[in-house]
Structure 1
């Protein structure tokens, strides 16, 4: 049942995944390197050459400007001064976004933007941080 659900989720978000693949492939002549991360259910383009740093998830594709997703980073709440939280792993945060995409498919992008985009106020980002901290609660409207 879990495999069937995962497969359906990947199909549901495949149009966004295709955009991520296109962006990743465009970055390859400029240094991006493709890696399969089964544990994250994603294709990762490391050393993606554009952006301010960090990572962005597009369906089952993660575009990452660094060497490894297994690097520590701070939560949105920590960066916004809402508390002193320990670092999380970027891979765990981005995996939560992969799960969110697999449930919401094409609805993810408009909902994410309506909820505030890249912001500490965005429930998608808070949930991804919560999941990276605890291993639970990746759904943006969960009560965990």
Structure 2
């Protein structure tokens, strides 16, 4: 795919995901008042709010916005399967996992949230999470359902 075509698809994806991204930006803006800081991560096609002060730890993606409770999104983390005891898998990079969710939002837009919840939410059974882990492990396969 040519660079102009890829840029156009990215722009359309960002626009399609923008209703949810606005929610992420609002949540991030509130976090700024409590010590969070933001920057653009071009590779991840996202605005990242680090040191976001709420949540159990880790990160959550809302469109093209990532709310991260830590200092560095390039930190190692375990896969959902590893955490659930389904195998001993090598650590992945959190940024790669969250980038997969950004791509998923860019395809599904606001439909991502209800589909994600219908598929099990934050769970090893959720195909969105398994695909994000697969992408973080291999650099491929961020789409949650196999194409035929």
Q: Of 75, 78, 81, which aligns to 1:74?
A: 78
Q: Of 58, 61, 65, which aligns to 2:62?
A: 58
The worse-fitting range, judged by mean Cα deviation, of 134-143 and 76-85 is 134-143
Q: Which residue of structure 2 lines up, in the alignment, with residue 104 of structure 1?
A: 108
> Which consecutive unaligned segments of at least 5 residues does structure 1 have?
none
| TM-score, length of structure 2 as denominator length | 0.96
> Does 2:27 match 1:26?
no
Aligned length: 143
> Does 2:49 match 1:40?
no
> Does 2:145 match 1:141?
yes
In the TM superposition, structure 1's runs of 4+ consecutive aligned residues that sit over 3 Å from their partners are none
> Which consecutive unaligned segments of at least 5 residues does structure 2 have?
none
Quote the RMSD (CA, aligned, Å): 0.6
Q: How far apart, in 2, do the equivalents of 1:114 and 1:133 lie?
A: 25
Secondary structure of the residue aligned to 2:88 is coil
Shift of 1:142: 2.4
